[in-house]
Structure 1
Amino acid sequence: MAKVGDESTHDFYAEARARFKQRITLSNKRSAMFAEAGCGCDGCECALPQVEGAEIDLPELQVTGVRFRDSSRTYYFAPGAHELSAGDRVVVETERGSDIGVVVIAPHQVAAATLEGELKPIVRVATEVDLDLSESLQGQQGEALKIFAQKVRDHKLPMKPVKAEYNHDGSRLTFYFSSNGRVDFRQLVRDLASWFRCRIELRQIGPRDEARLIGSLGKCGRPLCCSTWLPQFADVTMTMAKNQDISHNPMKNSGACGKLLCCLSYEDAFYREVRRSLPRLGQIVTTERGPGYVHALNLLRESVTVRLDAGEDIECSVADLIIVKGERVNAPQGRRQPRRDTTR
């Protein structure tokens, strides 16, 4: 390591200062460029410099969106020479073999850089024979699940059978199960393969996937989002429940899977924005009817409940308040502490 005062150390710090000055210069130019754009955004064409002959030519590919049964996620495939439209059933090549899906997005051009992984081809448009065979196999999935459950009991494995699923031609049978830990099911797979005479796959899933595959009704009375339209599970935290002042009772904020409700994330941005616009609980304010402090937040109405010094509670909007610097820490004797929103 070079010592302080060495020529190499001096050159290193000199180069670092030069790079730092260059970043500052570029940052100032970027800020000025966005300010001249006038639209206030940070990414549209208005904020980009117009340089003649500097257009970027990105390679494009023709893709079509396909969705499989029991899945709300859309996968992209290469349509090839097939003329497809939304609603057509097609046989596609996947990482797990061929399967039947429904076209939900007609063929169109997209930038190749936006695609992830290898683009698999669409083999053909599904024929009547393919559809009849697939429908017949779906009718056999219930019986296959019963046999799977019996085999699990015979092998005395800690597994909960969830669902059985054939691919479109019956060459592969997938069993979904849940378990609290890892399970050695190698002997079970051999037993199932000799019984069904096809390729067997066992997939261990979690509580959320179990609820998605089985399906149910949510607390709102509608079918579960994950089993109908939700393409992927949302990241839900307890902070979202706190932002919406929902009870911490797991019976109220948990879904059919036992995890936090996915719908807590749908309105979280709205609640966070409203909370930023409202004064905090306990904040000392002045109203037309006298001074007081913020006793409750009414997030849905975007207003607050103010407890006046006289002991009366009134509801006010932010425009009707004058916020006094400082926050109320302890309520006077005979007054309750500020409470949270009770709109839910």
Structure 2
Amino acid sequence: MSNVICSCMLGDNAKVRLHLSKLLQSEIEQIYGNEGDAEAASQLCEIELKCCRRDFFENTSGTQPEVGQAVIVEADGGYDYGIVYSTGLIAAKKYHLKGLDKKERKLPALLRIADEQDKADFQIVVEREPSIRDLCVSRIKAHKLQMKLVEIDLRLDQQKVTIFYTATHRVDFRALVRDLASEFKARIQMVQITTREEARRANSFGACGCILCCSSWMQKIHSNPFADRHDHSEQSSGDNHAHNVIGQCNRPKCCLGYSKPEKGRRKSRPEKYPPLGSKVATPQGTAIIESIDPARKMISLRYSEDDTRKQLDLAEFNALFVKKNV
């Protein structure tokens, strides 16, 4: 996967998503009405920060922010810049659905609405981040660390730099952190993420032509979306199996978790299909059933002697190899 360019708060994707969020805010408020504690809900806001992070904040600004409005929020001993994603009853509903209301924790505060100076400071931070990234990449190479830098986040107060990376094993980055801390005069935080999270931050397009589900609408990424679909690999053609089920994260596609058959529907692999890997005797020699395509009702045979392949439709295969009961 190429270097990730997160567009959660920048670019056309952010404008479209914020517009949809505004429409959702106005429509669903009519559905929920005055459900729950409206006064408590008015103090809850869902804020989107850089690097595709969203969190809930308690509104202490004294004013009710609107969706899409820039705000300044409390962040780990400092402050940061964010965009309001949902407020009021909508934010309270999301907070409840995620189960966060069951946890006893103090929410960080939404300090105030961002002014022009805050927006100018945010642009300075955005312009400075590419040079910080380049320096981090050079330091990683100098220390010969087996890790891939995915993204960096410079906080608005420029007192903390968060580095998101992927690695296949544990990395000893203590020397790297000391080097970067002396260079930037700021606190360094290393955060390891998965390849699925890396793909989510890319905001790119999948094979279907749409933005990746994990980047657009999914709240939670599946760990193994078709763990209970043992027949899925048998249903796919051997030639394009990887293209069909493997996503940009080099893991099974999350959308496969939503492709389960409806209740009462017949299985897509009926019993009349022969098992994969079984051998059949043909006039040309012994052949192995390599793949089955139920959609086209085609069976692919591979001859073990010369490794040639042949495709037969189901009717032809049954006529040649299936014994008829007399």
Aligned residues: 239
Shift of 1:132: 1.2
Residue of structure 1 aligned with 2:73, choices 92, 97, 118: 92
> Is the 8 Å Cα contact of residues 162 and 214 (structure 1) preserved in structure 2?
no
Counterpart of 1:154? 142
* Distance in 2 (alpha carbons) for counterparts of 1:147 and 1:241: 46
Counterpart of 1:188? 176
Counterpart of 1:107? 88
TM-score (norm 2): 0.62
**RMSD, aligned α-carbons:** 3.6
Counterpart residue type for residue 213 of structure 2: C
* Distance in 2 (alpha carbons) for counterparts of 1:78 and 1:227: 26
* Distance in 2 (alpha carbons) for counterparts of 1:250 and 1:296: 14
Shift of 1:255: 0.8
> Is the 8 Å Cα contact of residues 70 and 227 (structure 1) preserved in structure 2?
no
TM-score (norm 1): 0.59
Whether 1:251 and 2:231 are equivalent positions in the alignment is no
* Distance in 2 (alpha carbons) for counterparts of 1:185 and 1:175: 11
Counterpart of 1:323? none
Q: Secondary structure at the match of 2:190?
A: strand
Higher relative contact order (CA 8 A, sep 6+): 2
**1:261-319 CA-partner distances (Å, limit 9, x unpaired):** 11112333xx2x15x32277237xxxxxxxxxxx99669xxxx99xxxxx996xxxxxx
Whether 1:199 and 2:199 are equivalent positions in the alignment is no
Structure 2 stretches lacking a partner, 5+ long:
1-35, 273-291, 299-312
* Distance in 2 (alpha carbons) for counterparts of 1:69 and 1:228: 15
% identical aligned pairs: 26
Shift of 1:155: 1.3
Q: 1:332/1:124 Cα in 2 relative to 1: closer, same or farther (>3 Å)? A: closer
Structure 1 stretches lacking a partner, 5+ long:
1-56, 284-294, 306-310, 314-330, 338-344
Residue of structure 2 aligned with 1:277, choices 235, 241, 265: 265
* Distance in 1 (alpha carbons) for counterparts of 2:149 and 2:55: 27
Structure with higher Rg: it is 1
Q: Secondary structure at the match of 1:140?
A: helix
Shift of 1:126: 1.1
Counterpart residue type for residue 40 of structure 2: L
> Is the 8 Å Cα contact of residues 130 and 169 (structure 1) preserved in structure 2?
no
**1:149-179 CA-partner distances (Å, limit 9, x unpaired):** 1111111221222211111221111112221
